[in-house]
Amino acid sequence: MQITILGGAGFLGRKVAAQLTHDGSLAGQKITSLTLFDLAAPLPPAGAPFPVHSVAGDIVDLPDDAIPPGTDVVFHLAAVVSAAAEADYELGRRVNLRGTDALVDACRRLSSAPGARPPRVVFTSSVASFSGGQSAVLADDARQVPANSYGTQKAAAELILADASRRCFLDAVSIRLPTITVRPGRPNKAASSFLSSIIREPLLGLSAELPVPAHFAAWIASPRRAVDWLLHAAALDTSAIGESAGDSGATALDRGINAPGISATVAQMLAALEVVKPGASALVRPVADPDIAAIVGTWPAAFAPVRAQRLGFAPHESLVDLVRAFIADDLEATRRERGLPD
């Protein structure tokens, strides 16, 4: 099995690559090669039992060797994140939409070869493609009505990939990821970055700013669980995901899946931090940020992901386990990356 990860230098791309290296197989098939693509050539995971090719380039002008002939699975993780896409409209559209177009074009060329099968494409969409705010608990059939450019671009990319799947250029599964918490490394330009900072920074002995009230609730997921879901989506039998009918009576497979995250308030997250490291939450201080609050305030606080559960996506762990997972998986690497003392 040949696999490509677009966005292979990002933290989720690195984690997916590491898990594939550990497992050596996907969907019961031995992995024969892995291609990692990003703006700069990603570092290959250590100890891979198969060839790993690192490719650098612009996703809009996707190099042929980013998705080579014979590719079976593409993880499409490359994106400009929420606040950055809101601040730079052109960049967000370029990467999040035109980059997806380039992926479709590449898969279309591959699938047109004699005997070729359309590659499975696992796309990281987002809960930012929905609205509803703090009072919402969205069912699987809720409409995507985004209130920010990032969410709009993700929803549009889902439709592009669904249509390309209908035309048999590729076989997409779009996972609408919750806010991933706790992200390793440094704060990024995502509007939701504070949801990681309020856990990560105190565990590093650093202060963190909280731009929303303590009662603010978010739909979140750990990196461990996100990786599990992405790998499960890569192996999923898409004939089981169900159809949706249009006004004409024609049907198409519903490619978008709301991942089974967990709804938590900031106060509950800080309480979990206190269980694991007493006194750490004192390093979090309220600093109102109306711009951030305006973006994340439109996102739904909870979902009822019945369909994902039926399709075998793993349920989420507790908040305390989420904090402990970051300590076990990423705390020391984050400390080293940021040059912080032990």
Report the half-sphere exposure of 313 (CA within 13 A, side-chain side).
28
Give the model's pLDDT for residue 190. Answer: 87
User: Is the peptide bond preceding residue 182 cis, with omega within 30 degrees of 0?
Assistant: yes
Q: Is 150 noted as a catalytic residue in this protein?
A: yes
Band of pLDDT at residue 188, cut at 50, 70 and 90: confident
CA distance 213 to 90: 31
Is residue 1 in a domain? no
Residue 259 lies in a domain: yes
Structure tokens belonging to residue 144: 């995507």
Structure tokens at 7: 């966005």
Percent residues over pLDDT 90 in the chain: 91
Does any domain span residue 37?
no
Residue 233 and residue 106: Cα distance in Å, rounded? 21
**Which among 274, 294, 293, 275 is positioned nearest to 283, based on CA atoms?**
274
User: Could you please report the per-residue DSSP string of 48-70?
Assistant: -SS-EEEEE--GGG--GGGS-TT
In the chain, the percentage of residues whose pLDDT exceeds 70 is 97
| CATH number of the structural domain spanning residue 208 | 3.40.50.720
Given 11, 37, 130, 150, the catalytic residue: 150
Question: Coil, helix or strand for 297?
Answer: coil
- The rounded distance, in Å, linking the Cα atoms of 296 and 195 is 11
Our separate counts of H helices and E strands in the chain read 12, 18
Domain of residue 292: give its range. Answer: 79-336
Is there a contact between 181 and 195 (Cβ–Cβ < 8 Å)? yes
- Neighbouring CB atoms inside 10 A of 112's CB total 11
Query: Is the pLDDT at 134 greater than 60, yes or no?
Result: yes
Domain membership flag for residue 261: yes
What's the pLDDT band for 342 if we cut at 50, 70, 90? confident
- In this predicted structure, the answer to whether residue 39 has a pLDDT above a threshold of 80 is yes
Q: How far apart are the first and last CA of the chain?
A: 41
Split at pLDDT 50, 70, 90, the class of 246 is very low
pLDDT band at residue 251 under the 50/70/90 scheme: low
- The residue-averaged pLDDT of 21-41 equals 97
48-84: pLDDT as tens digits: 999 999 999 999 999 999 999 999 999 999 999 988 9
Is 136 within a domain?
A: yes
Does some domain include residue 87? yes
- The whole-number pLDDT of residue 248 equals 42
Kindly report, residue by residue over 293-302, the tens digit of the pLDDT. Answer: 999 999 999 9
User: Does residue 243 register a pLDDT over 80?
Assistant: no
* Number of domains into which the chain is organized: 1
Residue 304 has pLDDT above 90, yes or no: yes
Q: Is the predicted pLDDT of residue 247 greater than 50, yes or no? A: no
In a domain, 69, yes or no: no
What pLDDT does residue 210 have?
A: 97
